[in-house]
C-alpha cells in the first residue's frame, strides 16, 4: 500500500508541475500588424503594396452599382435584397440609410486600402532593409497616389457630407472635412505624390499589378515611376475637373497619358482572374440572368441614344424582359462580358473627353475636335450641333454618358453640373439622391 501511496504523490506532483504554465501562442493563422511593424522588411513592404492593389478591387462593384443605379444607367435586381430597388432609387418613402451595406461596405473597403498605404509609409520610414532612397520615394509616391484615389471614390459617394482625410491614428482620427476642402486636399496629396515619383529613379522596388500595363509606353517592358506619374496626373486632372478648375485640367492632362489620337481604351484597370486566390469581376452577370441577380439597362439608355451609336453594344437585348419591384427592362447591362473582364480605373477616352471639357468654353474648336474623336470611334459622324457653350456641354455630357457607361460617372457628372433633376425616375415617388450619408459608425453628428 505504501508504495502505491508514493506513486500517487508522484503522479500528483508530476501533473501539478507540468500543469503550471500555459503556452503563449503567436498568431497562428495570419501575419500580424504589431509584429510586422517591429521590423518591416522589404518583403513586408512589397506585400503591403500588393495588398493595396488587390484591396482596391474590394467592393468596387458596390461603388459602381451605387453610381450606376442612382445615375439611372441601369437597375440592379436582386430577389434576395430589396434595397437595390427601394433605397437606392428612393422608392416610396425609402431613404438612404447610414448603416446599410451600400454605403458601409465600399466606404470601409476604400479606407482599408488607405490604411494599408499609411502602414506602407510608416514601414518605409523605419525599415532597416537595404532600400535606396529612390526606391523609398517610389514606394511613397505610389502609396500616396493610390491613397488619394481611394479617398476620391469615397468623396464621390458622400459629396457635400465630406470624408475624413487624416486617418493614421485609429484613436485620434482627424475631422470630417467638407467637399471642397477634401477635393483640394486630394489634389495636394496627388501633387506631392508626383514629386516623390519624380525622385524615384527608373524602377519600382515592388511588382505593380498588370492593370497598370496600359501605361507602359511602346517598347517598354515594365512600369517605371515616370509611367506611373502619368496615371497620377490623369487622376489629378479628373479631380481638377470636379473642382471646376479648367486651366488646371488642361495642364494636368498635358502631363498625363492623354493621347487624343491613341487607343481610347488605354489606361489603368482593375484586373481579375479565375485563379483560386484571385477574385472575379463583381460586375459580371450572364446575359438573360433571372431577377435573382441581374443588371438591367435603364430603358432611357436606348431611347436617348443617337442612331448608329456602336456603344449600344454595351447592352444586349434579352430573350424576355425582366420585371422586379415594378421596374422592367428588355436589355441586359453587358459592359463587362466575363467574370475576368477588367474594370477601368481611368482610361484615355475619359481623358479625351476631359480635354474637351477643359476647352469647350475657351477653345471650342479644340473641344469639338476631341468630341469627334470619341464620336467617330463610336461609329457616329462628326458633331453637327450648335457651337454655344451650353450646347457643347450637353454634347460632352452625352458622350461621357455613352462612352463611360457603367464606369461610375453619369451620376457624378449630372451632379457637378446641377442636373440631377434631369435624371429620369420610373415610379411615382422615386427620388434621385444627391449623396450618401456618412456611415453611422464614423460617429459623426
Give residues 59-78 in contact with other proteins (rule: CB under 8 A). 78
Q: Is 301 helix (H, G, I), strand (E, B) or coil?
A: helix
Do the Cβ atoms of 406 and 430 come closer than 8 Å?
no
CA 400/CA 383 separation, integer angstroms: 14
Applying CB under 8 A, among 132, 160, 321, 363 the residue interacting with other proteins is 321
Do the Cβ atoms of 70 and 433 come closer than 8 Å?
yes
Applying CB under 8 A, among 153, 312, 322, 345 the residue interacting with other proteins is 322
Q: Does 21 bind other proteins (CB under 8 A)?
A: yes
Burial class (CB in 10 A: 0-12, 13-18, 19+), 417: middle
Residues 230-249 that bind other proteins (CB under 8 A): none
Strands 343-347 and 294-297: unpaired
CA 7/CA 352 separation, integer angstroms: 89
Q: Does 163 bind other proteins (CB under 8 A)?
A: yes
Choices 166-174, 251-259, 384-392, 414-422 (CB under 8 A): range interacting with other proteins? 166-174
Applying CB under 8 A, among 100, 184, 369, 372 the residue interacting with other proteins is 100
Residues 380-419 that bind other proteins (CB under 8 A): none
Choices 139-147, 252-260, 287-295, 357-365 (CB under 8 A): range interacting with other proteins? 287-295
CB of 255 to other proteins, least distance (A): 26
CB of 297 to other proteins, least distance (A): 15
Choices 230-238, 279-287, 347-355, 395-403 (CB under 8 A): range interacting with other proteins? 279-287
Compute the half-sphere exposure of residue 150: CA atoms within 13 Å on the CB side of its CA: 30
The residue (of 206 and 402) whose beta carbon lies closer to other proteins is 206
CB of 91 to other proteins, least distance (A): 7
Q: Is 269 helix (H, G, I), strand (E, B) or coil?
A: strand
Q: How far is CA 192 from the centre of its chain?
A: 21
CB of 242 to other proteins, least distance (A): 20
Q: Does 55 bind other proteins (CB under 8 A)?
A: yes
Q: Does 283 bind other proteins (CB under 8 A)?
A: no
Q: Give the residues across from 74 on adjacent strands.
A: 297
The residue (of 94 and 260) whose beta carbon lies closer to other proteins is 94
Applying CB under 8 A, among 3, 30, 261, 418 the residue interacting with other proteins is 30
Those residues with Cβ within 8 angstroms of residue 231's Cβ, 6 or more apart along the chain or in another chain: 145, 212, 215, 256, 257, 268, 346
CA 197/CA 444 separation, integer angstroms: 35
Show the cell assigned to 95: 431613404
Q: Does 11 bind other proteins (CB under 8 A)?
A: yes
Give, in order, the Cα–Cα distances in Å from 209 to each of 46, 88, 149: 12, 33, 16
Q: Does 132 bind other proteins (CB under 8 A)?
A: no
Choices 26-34, 228-236, 342-350, 397-405 (CB under 8 A): range interacting with other proteins? 26-34
For other proteins, what does the binding mask look like between residues 179 and 218, x meaning CB under 8 A?
Answer: ----------------------------xxxxx-------
Applying CB under 8 A, among 164, 311, 375, 401 the residue interacting with other proteins is 164
Q: Does 178 bind other proteins (CB under 8 A)?
A: no
Show the cell assigned to 399: 458622350
- Residue 387, number of CB atoms within 10 A of its CB: 12
Amino acid at each position: 500500500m505504501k508504495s502505491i501511496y508514493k506513486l500517487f504523490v508522484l503522479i500528483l506532483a508530476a501533473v501539478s508541475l507540468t500543469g503550471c504554465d500555459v503556452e503563449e501562442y503567436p498568431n497562428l493563422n495570419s501575419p500580424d500588424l504589431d509584429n510586422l511593424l517591429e521590423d518591416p522588411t522589404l518583403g513586408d513592404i512589397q506585400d503591403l503594396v500588393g495588398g493595396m492593389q488587390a484591396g482596391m478591387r474590394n467592393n468596387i462593384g458596390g461603388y459602381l452599382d451605387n453610381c450606376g443605379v442612382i445615375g439611372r444607367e441601369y437597375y440592379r435586381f436582386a430577389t434576395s435584397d430589396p434595397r437595390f430597388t427601394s433605397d437606392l432609387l428612393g422608392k416610396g418613402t425609402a431613404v438612404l440609410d447610414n448603416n446599410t451595406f451600400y454605403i458601409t461596405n465600399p466606404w470601409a473597403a476604400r479606407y482599408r486600402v488607405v490604411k494599408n498605404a499609411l502602414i506602407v509609409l510608416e514601414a518605409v520610414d523605419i525599415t532597416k532593409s537595404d532600400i535606396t532612397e529612390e526606391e523609398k520615394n517610389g514606394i511613397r509616391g505610389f502609396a500616396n497616389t493610390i491613397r488619394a484615389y481611394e479617398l476620391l471614390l469615397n468623396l464621390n459617394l458622400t459629396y457635400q457630407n465630406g470624408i475624413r482625410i487624416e486617418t493614421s491614428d485609429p484613436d485620434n482620427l482627424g475631422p470630417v472635412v467638407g467637399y471642397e476642402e477634401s477635393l483640394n486636399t486630394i489634389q495636394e496629396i496627388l501633387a506631392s505624390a508626383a514629386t516623390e515619383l519624380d525622385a524615384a529613379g527608373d524602377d519600382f522596388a515592388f511588382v505593380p499589378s498588370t492593370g497598370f500595363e496600359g501605361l507602359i509606353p511602346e517598347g517598354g517592358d515594365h512600369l517605371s515611376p515616370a509611367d506611373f506619374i502619368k496615371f497620377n496626373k490623369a487622376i489629378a486632372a479628373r479631380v481638377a475637373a470636379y473642382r471646376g478648375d479648367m486651366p488646371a485640367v488642361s495642364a494636368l492632362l498635358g502631363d498625363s497619358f492623354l493621347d487624343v489620337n491613341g487607343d481610347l481604351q488605354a489606361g489603368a484597370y482593375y484586373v481579375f482572374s479565375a485563379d483560386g486566390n484571385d477574385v472575379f469581376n463583381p460586375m459580371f452577370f450572364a446575359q438573360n440572368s433571372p431577377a435573382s441577380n441581374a443588371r438591367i439597362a435603364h430603358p432611357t439608355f436606348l431611347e436617348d441614344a443617337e442612331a448608329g451609336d456602336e456603344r449600344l453594344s454595351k447592352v444586349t437585348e434579352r430573350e424576355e424582359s425582366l420585371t422586379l419591384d415594378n421596374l422592367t427592362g428588355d436589355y441586359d447591362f453587358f459592359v463587362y462580358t466575363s467574370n475576368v473582364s477588367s474594370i477601368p480605373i481611368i482610361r484615355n477616352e475619359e481623358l479625351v473627353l476631359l480635354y474637351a471639357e477643359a476647352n469647350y468654353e475657351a477653345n471650342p474648336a479644340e473641344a469639338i475636335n476631341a468630341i469627334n474623336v470619341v464620336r467617330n470611334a463610336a461609329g457616329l459622324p462628326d458633331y453637327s450641333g450648335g457651337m454655344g457653350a451650353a450646347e457643347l456641354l450637353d454634347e460632352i455630357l452625352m458622350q461621357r454618358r455613352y462612352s463611360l457607361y457603367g464606369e461610375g460617372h453619369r451620376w457624378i457628372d449630372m451632379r457637378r453640373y446641377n442636373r440631377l433633376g434631369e435624371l429620369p425616375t420610373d415610379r411615382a415617388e422615386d427620388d434621385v439622391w444627391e449623396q450618401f450619408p456618412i456611415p453611422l459608425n464614423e460617429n459623426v453628428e
